[in-house]
A and B are shown apart, each in its own frame.
Chain A
Amino acid sequence: MVGPGERVAVVGASGAGKSTLLAVANGAVPPSSGSVEVLGRDPSALRGRALRRLRARVGTVHQHLELVGPLRVLHNVNAGRLGSWPAARAAWSLLRPQGVPEVVGALERVGLADRVFDRTDTLSGGQRQRVAVARLLVQDPDLVLADEPASALDPVLADAVLGLLAAPASRGGALLVALHDPVLALRHCDRVVGLAAGRVVLDAPAAALTVPDLAAFYGARA
């Protein structure tokens, strides 16, 4: 249960089920047992247009980013709007880019405005991660699901990016983020959920936890 405006960090060792939890949350994978409700709907029960409408309200930053290398940064960011654009507009935008100011605005917030017209496969890993975040900003979702969004960033940038992801929460959106870094989890989230072997083994307000607590949690897998 993630409430409106809540920022939840999911922690756990590799393979504990963090990515699966996020995939279930946007309806990519049906839950193996139990039920799931996202923004008031069950994604596993929706099909076609209804599912697309729900998904357009859920922003995701994937662990492997899933950006398209041969496309320009501009288009990869604009892809965040494909959930609301009709197909013809999406196609036209590849020839005559649409909504460039918004794209540049989003890229400015992640510090990449000068690369807007570059091909995405010329960017470094950290820069790509920021492109994925810019895509999310352009999508402007009500729920953000992020899988290790800061793994390739230096500490300062990681901090800034997580701040951006948490922004929708300030206007009633929610954030569910899988993190490896205890410091970031405690600084940016209200609540921490710990997973091990697919089960919840920890669920506590961030205020009640300390960095050593979480570090011990990661260490506990051995």
Chain B
Amino acid sequence: MTAVLARPAAPVLRRDRRRWAWGLAALVVVGWSLAAALGGDVLNPAGGAQVGRFAAAALSPDLDGAFLGMLGTAALVTLAYAVLGTALALALGAAGAVAAARTTWGRRGTGWAAARGVLAVPRGLHEAVWGLLLLNVLGLDPWVGVLAIGLPYGAVTATVFAGLLDEVPRGPYEALLAQGSGRVAAALYGLLPLAAGGLLSYAFYRLECAVRSAVVLGLIGAGGLGYQLALSFTSLRWPQVWSAVYALALLCLAADVAGRAVRRRLAAPRRRAGVLARDRVLTAAVLGTGAAVVWAWWFLALSPASLVSARARGQLGHVLGAALPPAGDGALLREVGAQAVVTLQMSVLAVAVAVAGSALLAPGAARPPGAGPGRRLAGAPVRAALLVLRAVPAPVWALVLLFVLLPGVLPGALALGLTTLGVLGRLAAEAVEEADPRPRAALTALGARPVGAWLYGVLPPAAGPVLALALYRWEVAVRDTLLVGLLGAGGLGALLASRLAVFDWPAVTTVLAATVALTLAVDLVSDRARRVLR
């Protein structure tokens, strides 16, 4: 007689199917982009000497007094643009966030979708494109630089703020509504304080981005550090280029340090019992920001009148008249389609490079709370390297890489990858710092090696946020392909530049529409992917 033993079914390890599908799809897309970039020869070792010249100049920047004086003034212009652009972006973002938040629309999905659609247009265009378009309407007016940063950043900020508002726990807000307070007051007491930390630290992050964008605008003639950098770059005066890069890095560092101080204070407030004492650091940050806006307004001599002048209206009419209707001939549309694919490949590779680099560098760059001075010191070179990676504008990286790589998608994608790594590596280091230190400490306490403690205690909680940030940067990378396309890399940006150069406005409109559509598509895909990560 055989007894059939009823064994309980052994538990089976089930993988999250959606995550696996997304992961697999990501691998396929990266592989496809890589195949496109690596087709044929890619290396040109003979150009090593040229890269060497660029690299050597990093150690001997131009320190001529007159030149440094000029850089100082230029840095002030860049700072003023960045401050006013950020202020405008925050104002627009705050207003737009209300329109773009699911909280506002509740179950009325169409209103929400319409608001998101409206925001996609300013967001889909690169700051440099905004700059060129505004230049055609406003001429040589400082508003060009302010608006070129403020409008696209405002749209991005609105989306991010809306996300922050939507993610805040809703209990307190609804509790206030339940006791009869109005929506505005309930949001002021129940939503805003909870989101304030995120909003404020994002504002400082935007300021740092705005400094870099102001430099890009200088490349198209809006003045400032970027202008000086562009002049020296055009003649390949590497020592001068490095001086400008270091000046820019200092500005970025200042914004970064200020943002970090504010974030620390918000996370761990000083307690002083019994008095209504405002935090000095936070008060100084707010007052300092206000003073900076006033100074920047004065320094750039902004005049609101020039925005609505008859001349501006006339030029707007001229540009719109020339740009509409968009060109729709088959040859152009085919070209647009082909270049959109190139843009996509370039952006995917850039983000892949940045993610891989961040995984390697973030552990070194992070300053976990309570780390000793030795650990902090060891991280300094990594952080400085990340700072330089993002301070050198993408067009400069593109040219330098082209000395040792043959023309094609690869040098462009790598150039974007390096700047993206500079940004993402820093964000990843912050995510590591903000992760709860206790799980890792517990693992160390039970005798785990540092690598093991890192893999089990830090990586799992940090990986999700870092990948989500990478997906955000993907959209930025799509727009930034504009900066690296001309040197044989191609993409929609190169096509746009060639149409702009010959003032073929109808074709410009078509390419811009395609760019916005591509950015929107990338945003939708990355939004889906982020939801799976959550």
B273 at the interface (CB under 8 A from A): yes
Tell me if B179 and A82 are in contact (CB < 8 A).
Answer: yes
Task: Please count the residue pairs between chain A and chain B whose beta carbons lie under 8 angstroms apart in the complex.
Answer: 106
Task: Indicate with 1 or 0, residue by residue over B249-288, a CB within 8 angstroms of chain A CB atoms.
Answer: 0000000000000000010010111111100000000000
Question: Which residues from chain B contact A87 at a C-beta distance below 8 Å?
Answer: 182, 184-185, 188
Specify which of B175, B194, B266, B272 lies most central, judged by the most chain A CB atoms within 10 Å of its CB.
B175
Q: A66-B171, A71-B189, A87-B185 are in contact. Are A114 and B274 (CB under 8 A)?
A: yes
Q: A28-B178, A53-B180 are in contact. Are A82 and B194 (CB under 8 A)?
A: no
Tell me if A117 and B277 are in contact (CB < 8 A).
Answer: yes
B196 at the interface (CB under 8 A from A): yes
Distance of A91 Cα from B171 Cα, bound (Å): 20
Tell me if A64 and B171 are in contact (CB < 8 A).
Answer: yes
B186 at the interface (CB under 8 A from A): yes
A-B contacts besides A82-B182, A83-B181, 11 pairs, CB < 8 Å: A28-B178, A55-B177, A58-B179, A64-B171, A66-B174, A69-B193, A70-B196, A76-B189, A83-B179, A90-B188, A97-B276
Q: A117-B277, A118-B273, A119-B269 are in contact. Are A52 and B171 (CB under 8 A)?
A: no
- Can you sample 20 A-B contacts with CB below 8 Å? A51-B180, A55-B177, A55-B180, A56-B179, A58-B179, A60-B178, A66-B172, A66-B174, A68-B194, A71-B193, A82-B179, A82-B182, A87-B184, A87-B188, A90-B181, A91-B188, A94-B188, A117-B272, A117-B274, A119-B269
Which residues of chain B (120-177) have a CB below 8 Å from chain A? 171-172, 174-177
Tell me if B180 and A54 are in contact (CB < 8 A).
Answer: yes
Q: A68-B189, A87-B185 are in contact. Are A118 and B179 (CB under 8 A)?
A: no
Interface of A toward B, CB cutoff 8 Å: 26-28, 51-60, 62, 64, 66-72, 74-76, 79-80, 82-85, 87, 90-91, 94, 97, 114-119, 122, 139, 141
B190 at the interface (CB under 8 A from A): yes
Distance of A90 Cα from B190 Cα, bound (Å): 12
B197 at the interface (CB under 8 A from A): yes
Distance of A122 Cα from B268 Cα, bound (Å): 10
Specify which of B177, B185, B190, B272 lies most central, judged by the most chain A CB atoms within 10 Å of its CB.
B185
Question: Which residues from chain A contact B277 at a C-beta distance below 8 Å?
Answer: 117
Closest B residue to A48 by CB, please name it.
Answer: B182
Question: Which residues from chain B contact A70 at a C-beta distance below 8 Å?
Answer: 193-194, 196-197, 266
Tell me if B273 and A52 are in contact (CB < 8 A).
Answer: no
Closest B residue to A27 by CB, please name it.
Answer: B178
CB distance from A137 to the nearest CB of B (A): 13
Tell me if B185 and A85 are in contact (CB < 8 A).
Answer: yes
A58, A90, A118: the one contacting B271 at CB < 8 Å is A118
CB distance from B15 to the nearest CB of A (A): 33
Question: Which residues from chain B contact A76 at a C-beta distance below 8 Å?
Answer: 189
Distance of A118 Cα from B273 Cα, bound (Å): 7
Distance of A90 Cα from B188 Cα, bound (Å): 8
Closest B residue to A59 by CB, please name it.
Answer: B179
CB distance from A151 to the nearest CB of B (A): 16
CB distance from B508 to the nearest CB of A (A): 44
CB distance from B343 to the nearest CB of A (A): 41
Tell me if B189 and A62 are in contact (CB < 8 A).
Answer: no
Distance of A119 Cα from B266 Cα, bound (Å): 11
Tell me if A117 and B275 are in contact (CB < 8 A).
Answer: yes
Distance of A66 Cα from B184 Cα, bound (Å): 17
Tell me if A79 and B180 are in contact (CB < 8 A).
Answer: no
CB distance from A202 to the nearest CB of B (A): 27
CB distance from B287 to the nearest CB of A (A): 13
Tell me if A75 and B273 are in contact (CB < 8 A).
Answer: no
Tell me if A52 and B182 are in contact (CB < 8 A).
Answer: yes
Q: A71-B193, A117-B274 are in contact. Are A60 and B175 (CB under 8 A)?
A: yes
Question: Which residues from chain A contact B178 at a C-beta distance below 8 Å?
Answer: 26-28, 55, 58, 60
Tell me if B180 and A90 are in contact (CB < 8 A).
Answer: no
Distance of A17 Cα from B178 Cα, bound (Å): 19
Q: A66-B172, A70-B196 are in contact. Are A90 and B179 (CB under 8 A)?
A: no
Distance of A147 Cα from B404 Cα, bound (Å): 70
Question: Which residues from chain B contact A27 at a C-beta distance below 8 Å?
Answer: 178
